[in-house]
Chains A and B, each alone.
Chain A
Amino acid sequence: MKWKIGDRVETRDAYGKALVDLGARRPDVVVMDADLQRSNKTYAFGQAYPDRFFDMGIAEADMICTAAGMAATGMTVFASSFAMFVPGRCYDQVRLQLSYGQANVKIAGVSAGITQGPDGATHQSLDDVALTRQLPGMIVIVPADATEAYQATLAAAEIAEPVYLRLGRYPTPVIFGEDYRFQIGAVPVLRRGADVVLYATGIMTSMALDTAGLLAATGIEAAVLNVPTIKPLDIEAVVRPAAGARLAVTMEEHSIIGGLGSAVAEALACAGHMSTLLRIGIQDCFGQSGTADELLEYYGLTPAHMASQIRSAL
C-alpha cells in the first residue's frame, strides 16, 4: 500500500486496508469488532469477507475470549475496539487469554490517546501501552504513520504471539515511503544529532522531526529515533544513541507513567546511563473534551511547546 509522504492519514485507515489485503490471501484471518467497525475501519473487511467478520456487540470481554477460542482452533484473529475498551475494559481477559494463554490474537486499540478528542477523558486512552507492556509475551506496537501501521498489521499476522496495535484517528503526516521496511523491534534513526536524543512513538514521531527542525534553528542538534515497538524494546538501540548526549527526551501521547517514557527510563538506568531524561506526554492527569489540535496544544504536545521545553531543560 502506498501513501504520499506529507499527506495526512489516520493510522486506523491503514489498519483497515491491511486487513482487507490480508483477508484475500489468508483464509485463517478473522476480524472482530465490538460495535465500532465503521470507526475502527474494520467494516471493509466485513463487507469483503462476511463469513470471517464478527460484530461481537458491545461486549469487549466476550470478544477477547471468543477470539482466544478461535485462535486455539487454528485462526489468526484481529479484535478491535477503542483503546479505552481494548485493553482497558477487558484487561483481565487480555491478561489471562492472550498473555498467559499466548493466543494468536492481535488486539487493535483504535482512537487511542489524547487525539481521540471531543469525547473527552472517558474515551481518551492514556494508559493502554502501560497495561499491555507489562504483560509477559505481549508485543506492543505504536505505528508512527499510515505506512508503518499498514506494515505493522501485516507483520502482526506473520507471528503467532499476541500483539497490541495502538492506532489513532488523528490525521498524521505520512513520513515513510514505499521503500520503508517495518520490523518488529527495530528502532529506526530518522535524524542524527549529538546534543539531544528524541525518542518518539506514534503520531509524536512526525512531531519529533519538526521539533528537531526547530531546535536546529537555535543551534541544538537533536537525533530522532522512531520507537514503534515498545515491547520487546531493543535496549541496545535505545541506549547507544544516548551516549554523549546532554539530554534524552521521550515523546508520546500517553501517560508519562508506564509507556515509552518508562520503557526508555528503565533501559537507560539499567545500562548505567545517568543522562537527564525529559518525559513528554500526558503528565499523570486525565484529558478533557476539545479538538485533537486544541488538546495537543493544551497539553504541550506541539513541536513549538516541546522545543521550548527541551531548551529549558538543557
Chain B
Amino acid sequence: MVDELKLAELAGIAHELRYHIVRMMGAGKPHHFGGSLSVVEVVTALYFYKMRYDPADPRWDGRDRFVMSKGHSVPAQYAALARLGVLPLDELPRLKKLGSILQGHPNVHMTPGLEACTGSLGQGLSFANGIALAARIRGLECRVYCVLGDGELHEGQVWEAAMEAAGQKLDTLVALVDRNRLKSQGDVDEAKPLEPLALKWEAFGWHTLVVDGHDLRQICDALDVAETTKGRPTAVIARTVKGKGVPFMEGQFQFHNAPISQQQWEEAMRVLAPEELAR
C-alpha cells in the first residue's frame, strides 16, 4: 500500500515528468501534448510505484512490462525512462529529430526501455496478451501493464484482445484506459459512444475499476487491487483531463497534436518548472 511519504515523492515526479514533456517538445513544432500530459500520473504510478523494474537492466527477463498502446503519448514514457536513467536526459530535446533514438511513435529497437512498436492504434493490448501468455508458458512471474487511449477503444481490435485476455484468465494483465474524453478531432463519445465504459469491460469479463487518473493514491490502490485479483484481468479506467497541468491546454482537443507558440511554451514552462528552477 502506498504511504503519504511515497505519495509526496510521486507527486513531485509527476510534476517533473510534465516539465520534461513540455520541455522536450518545445515551441513551433506539432507535438502530442494533450495525451502525453493526461497520462502522466498513470505512467508515474507504474514506473515509480508498482512495476518490478531494474533501470540498470531494462531487458531483465523477469521485469514487469509496460506497453504504451496509445503510442503517440510515448513522450510521457520517454520522460519517465529518462528520470529512471534508462535514457539520457540530454536526448529528450532531440525527440522526433533526424537521427534521434526518440521516434515520434515507439520503436522498440531504437529506444531502450520500450516493449512494443505501437502508433497504429488498437494493437498494444493484443501484444500485451502475447507477453502474458508467453510468460505463462515459460513460468516467468512478470506482470504486464498496457496503457490505452479512450479514443483508441474505437478500434475493434481492442475488444478482440479484451475477449482473449478474459478467455485466457490473464490475471497478470492490467489495462489502463486514459479516459480524457478527447480524441484528435473532438469528443470521443460523440463520434462513437463508449459509455457505459466500465460496464463494457465488466461484460467482457474484466475486473474493472474507475479512478481519478490524476489522483496518485487512487491509481496506486487500483494497481494493488489488480495484483490481488485472480482469474481475470483488470481494467483501470483513469478519468483524466487532456493537456493536464498546462492551463491553456486542459480539456482542449486542439492540443492533441499541434504546435504551440514561443510565448505559450514559455508560459507552460513557467507553470511546470520545478520549484528550484522557478525561483
Contacts and interface: CB of A to CB of B under 8 A. Distances in A.
Contact of B120 (A51, A63, A74, A92): A92
A89 B123 CA distance: 14
A135 to B, nearest CB: 13
A236 interface: no
Interface in B189-225: none
B123 A65 contact: yes
A218 interface: no
Max chain B C-beta neighbours (<10 A), residue from A61, A65, A69, A72: A69
A72 to B, nearest CB: 6
Contacts of A72: 108, 115-116, 127, 130-131, 134
Given A65-B126, A68-B116, A73 B131 contact: yes
A97 B138 contact: no
B267 interface: no
Interface stretch (A52-60, A227-235, A251-259, A286-294): A52-60
Interface stretch (B22-30, B158-166, B175-183): B158-166
29 contacts: A51-B137, A52-B137, A62-B157, A65-B123, A65-B126, A65-B127, A65-B130, A66-B127, A66-B129, A66-B130, A66-B133, A69-B116, A69-B128, A69-B131, A69-B132, A69-B133, A70-B134, A72-B108, A72-B116, A72-B131, A73-B130, A73-B131, A73-B135, A73-B140, A75-B137, A97-B116, A101-B108, A101-B109, A101-B117
Interface string A89-109: 000110011001110000000
A174 interface: no
Given A69-B128, A74-B138, A101-B109, 8 more contacts: A59-B157, A61-B122, A66-B129, A66-B130, A71-B130, A72-B131, A73-B130, A96-B120
Interface in A72-125: 72-75, 92-93, 96-97, 100-102
Q: Which of B61, B67, B116, B123 has the most CB of A within 10 A?
A: B123
Contacts of B163: 57, 59
Contacts of A74: 61, 134, 138
A68 B117 CA distance: 10
B166 to A, nearest CB: 12
A204 interface: no
Interface string A278-304: 000000000000000000000000000
Summarize A's interface: helix, strand, loop or mixed: helix
B126 A102 contact: no
Interface string B50-79: 000000000001000001000000000000
Contact of A57 (B116, B129, B133, B164): B164
B119 interface: yes
Contacts of B109: 101-102
Contacts of A56: 164
Contacts of A18: none
A61 B135 contact: no
A136 B130 CA distance: 23
B252 interface: no
Contact of B127 (A51, A75, A92, A97): A97
Contacts of B128: 69
Given A65-B126, A97-B127, A73 B138 contact: yes
Chain B interface mostly:
helix
B107 interface: yes
A52 B126 CA distance: 17
Contacts of B118: 96
What 3 pairs between A and B have smallest CB-CB spacing? A69-B130, A65-B126, A73-B134
B130 A68 contact: yes
A198 B275 CA distance: 74
Contacts of A73: 130-131, 134-135, 138, 140
A50 B218 CA distance: 40
A300 to B, nearest CB: 39
A74 to B, nearest CB: 6
Contacts of B134: 30, 69-70, 72-75
A57 B118 CA distance: 23
Nearest to A105: B130
A100 B117 contact: yes
Contacts of A63: 126
Interface in B219-243: none
A25 to B, nearest CB: 16
A67 B133 CA distance: 10
A62 B161 contact: yes
A11 B94 CA distance: 50
Given A69-B126, A73-B134, A97-B127, A59 B160 contact: yes
Contacts of B61: 74
A73 B117 CA distance: 14
A69 B165 CA distance: 13
